[in-house]
Structure 1
């Protein structure tokens, strides 16, 4: 009975691995796959059910890629240079490889692809992206994995902008257009095949004219984009992806003028890495009232105090803000004057930088990492201000260079009394006036026990002159 066999092989599926599996778990999963393969070779009746269980979940695209190679690397996990794999690895145009995929290989691919339900990590590199582009064309736009309800983790990695013929002044512009077309086509191919996509990671995106290929992914919840150069059109498309819950992006905006746009209405976590003066543009774009975590970083080492203050001010607009992180150093700070720019080496109060956040009584995590000439002034009164504003704070990390004004040991007492949930603390510095402040208080004198005439035990001072009970 097919139903009984289906139920039996369902229980024989390999266990799903966690993010950091142990060697024992990996070995058990490998053994389970080997058992299914052995059962598939027993008889034709077992074969269909065993193959369904074996191909239902893939850890990556390697088994799929191996379907298009005439020979396999039996010793390792890679694909030997031969057939389509060798041609694509050689850097030739993917459109030249129609003749390298035989009808037998194409039939074999469709035979197994229809069994795939989940691909844990696609890991699209240069080879995989080129392969899928070609397969998408050959399949006339139809889904390559027709019964795949979701790809849990798709990773796209693009190379940089390259061109040949540098003597032609138009070559760089043409190369950018060709690359943009290739990136758009690759995104369209992937997103159209996995409309239930939940998490997407794109590395090396570079300059792209539009993010419209992402729109078919109506269930996209997490988007991680690295090294993106965004224009107004891309930014408007990004704002329209209202399904996003988490956005992690390292970016740079083009020099075009950006008109105001709003969106990302369901965002809960926002991580931005880029020029500090451009980050408020992205923050202004987010109209979600559910944002709880904001991470801001400027790796350029040029973020000014004014730019940081503006970012903190804009980030404070989120009413449910629970965690705030700022990483922005400035090795050189200049001020404009009639005589031109000159070096500034004056301290600024730390509380002025984070003052917009003081109204968020529910703040649980605050992490500020910044070095700038002159340092930050931070006194006992400032510590008391923070403790009063955030009584439930759990993590307070102020990794800044100090100025003349620094808190004393009394600041720790204030934090201990006002913030009972505090678990992690980092302050710029602590002033210790004398070694006496570090000496622990004297313990109370021991008490002796005296039995009264009525049989009661009453504590009495051990020393006659001590009246303390």
Structure 2
């Protein structure tokens, strides 16, 4: 009962602050053994933070809350040295700049402090570790490992390992049976092969990888994050298939040079095939260049299907052709969440034309985008309770690309209309190909996606045709759960049409939950006088608030953009008849929300 009450008090930081406001938290850098317990030696700025100060005060004042307060205080250990300060033998090295630490004396000299060290080591839940810390002598880990062959932090749940030279040793020392999340920022060929001195003819990277695999495979890890760098071993991904209890997998990478992609692609694509059979994996994030798995510059035979029966969420980067290859390889029918956006390579552009072409290869052709959406429509589970799709493509016309006979937005989205439980949908193609979009397309979309909660379709102003403001009625009538709506451009032919649409709203529901609305208005052949524009603005506001009552007490932001002849011609908004055009960007939100 005490533990449950203590947890409630610690969760209510305001209540604890009121009770203890007369206490000033002490700034105690270094070792602190007052009040019968040890505090971590946080840097001065962090020791005065609200949370740690509160935990410190609670541990001092209330004996019943001392243990949970210390658990909360030690749960996140930003630096392993803070725990080592408990050991009297952990001292600075004399006459070394910058200051460096070591374990002084024989190993048995640690025994008197070891019980106290373990008392606080068991409280640590999350640790970011880098064994190349310049202030930590390289022999410290060897001494600790020779004295204590068990996990140093038996309660550790999340372990973040930085780049270093003793990855297997660190994994052996810190991975515990309670560990559920592992993040490795760099597993280089040198790092994973440095556990022991390599013998003649010994492949250090292979041996190091096996060491890592054996250690990780013995723990029921459910979340694993790995970052690839130009120095990563070719066998790095071989660690992943051994983690059979894995539920969340994240693989990230830096922008790799084309030469590295060419040399690694065949190895990584084969390693990716080994993921098949990971029965518990439900979230896959590939924040790496998909050329490593589906290289466009190499002729590789198509790989076998990757059976991931529980996979529900995929996040990836690249172009539409690579996403299509990824979804075609993955054998799953449970997919309910998909996030995809271009892979942005950083750094200066190369002078070589071939290298520059490779840099720009993440631009998608229109045909690839159509094919990709068709594949998504087949892979997403039609019975999923809630489907979330976010797609962003960089489009560029390809030389010799055949023009598709169907060029409407509805044809583009048709494969996704079968997903009846689509809740969140974002599609952005930049720049947008010349497609048509009209009221009938909107009517079909709203009829299919009646459970949609958030819709963002904002490709730009290059469409051949646009729906009118009256199309918003179908969102109000069919999409009764819609809370956020972003559309490209809505047309306004005349104020009379808007007034007629407003008069027909009597049959529409008047309790719509929409809270955010954004679009642009394109008006043709209207008098551009100030009086007419102001009148149109009032009609538009009244019409929108009648459709979506939650916006009634909100605020709106209307901004007029006059298009001169050159800009209008460039965007295809003015024909030979020299139509008068103006555009207003409209953004409305409910009270209390930000635009």
TM-score by length of 1: 0.66
State the partner residue of 2:76: 59
Q: Which whole-Å deviations, capped at 9, do the CAs of 1:202-242 have from their partners, x for residues lacking one? A: 22356734633223433211111112865332111222322
State the partner residue of 1:310: 371
CA distance in 2, matches of 1:249, 1:151: 23
State the partner residue of 2:478: 418
| Residue 343 of structure 2 corresponds to residue 281 of structure 1 | no
| Residue 178 of structure 2 corresponds to residue 134 of structure 1 | no
State the partner residue of 2:544: none
Q: Which whole-Å deviations, capped at 9, do the CAs of 1:5-56 have from their partners, x for residues lacking one? A: xx989987999989xxx9644433455677899x99xxxxxxxxx79x8599
Q: Which whole-Å deviations, capped at 9, do the CAs of 1:407-434 have from their partners, x for residues lacking one? A: 0011101221121111111111000112
In the alignment, which of 352, 362, 381 is matched to residue 319 of structure 1?
A: 381
Q: Is the 8 A contact 2:367 2:404 kept in 1?
A: no
Counterpart mapping for 1:20-31 below 5 A: 24-31=50-57
In the alignment, which of 285, 290, 300 is matched to residue 248 of structure 1?
A: 285
SS of 1:377's partner is coil
| Residue 427 of structure 2 corresponds to residue 403 of structure 1 | no
Counterpart mapping for 1:190-205 below 5 A: 191-192=216-217, 195-204=219-228
Counterpart mapping for 1:66-215 below 5 A: 67=84, 70-71=90-91, 81-83=100-102, 88-89=132-133, 97=138, 101=141, 103=143, 105-106=144-145, 113=152, 116-119=154-157, 121-127=158-164, 130-135=165-170, 144-145=173-174, 148-158=176-186, 184=209, 187-188=212-213, 191-192=216-217, 195-204=219-228, 208-209=234-235, 211-215=237-241
State the partner residue of 2:531: none
Shift in Å, 1:307: 1.2
SS of 1:71's partner is strand
CA distance in 1, matches of 2:184, 2:11: 22
Q: Is the 8 A contact 1:12 1:36 kept in 2?
A: no
CA distance in 1, matches of 2:142, 2:399: 68
For these two proteins, the number of residue pairs brought into alignment is: 384
CA distance in 2, matches of 1:112, 1:212: 24
Q: Which whole-Å deviations, capped at 9, do the CAs of 1:95-124 have from their partners, x for residues lacking one? A: xx5x55564x4466668826x2233x4221
SS of 1:201's partner is strand
Shift in Å, 1:375: 3.4
| Residue 258 of structure 2 corresponds to residue 258 of structure 1 | no
Q: Which whole-Å deviations, capped at 9, do the CAs of 1:249-298 have from their partners, x for residues lacking one? A: 12322433232223111111111212432222221232222221112222
State the partner residue of 1:333: 397
CA distance in 1, matches of 2:4, 2:432: 64
State the partner residue of 1:272: 316
Q: Is the 8 A contact 1:347 1:377 kept in 2?
A: no
Q: Is the 8 A contact 1:200 1:220 kept in 2?
A: yes
SS of 1:150's partner is coil
CA distance in 2, matches of 1:113, 1:384: 62
Structure 1 pair 207–374 and aligned structure 2 pair: CA distance change class (3 A): farther
CA distance in 2, matches of 1:151, 1:328: 38
| Residue 382 of structure 2 corresponds to residue 382 of structure 1 | no
CA distance in 1, matches of 2:156, 2:131: 28
CA distance in 1, matches of 2:319, 2:244: 30
CA distance in 1, matches of 2:422, 2:495: 35
Gaps of 5+ in 1: 1-6, 41-49, 74-78, 137-142, 163-176, 444-469
Shift in Å, 1:437: 4.8
Gaps of 5+ in 2: 18-48, 104-128, 191-202, 255-263, 345-361, 505-595
State the partner residue of 1:3: none
TM-score by length of 2: 0.54
Q: Is the 8 A contact 1:347 1:375 kept in 2?
A: no
In the alignment, which of 341, 348, 355 is matched to residue 414 of structure 2?
A: 355
Q: Which whole-Å deviations, capped at 9, do the CAs of 1:373-425 have from their partners, x for residues lacking one? A: 64332111111111121122111111212312000011101221121111111
SS of 1:393's partner is coil
Shift in Å, 1:357: 0.8
Of structures 1 and 2, the one scoring higher in RCO (CA 8 A, sep 6+) is 1
SS of 1:315's partner is helix
CA distance in 2, matches of 1:237, 1:273: 21
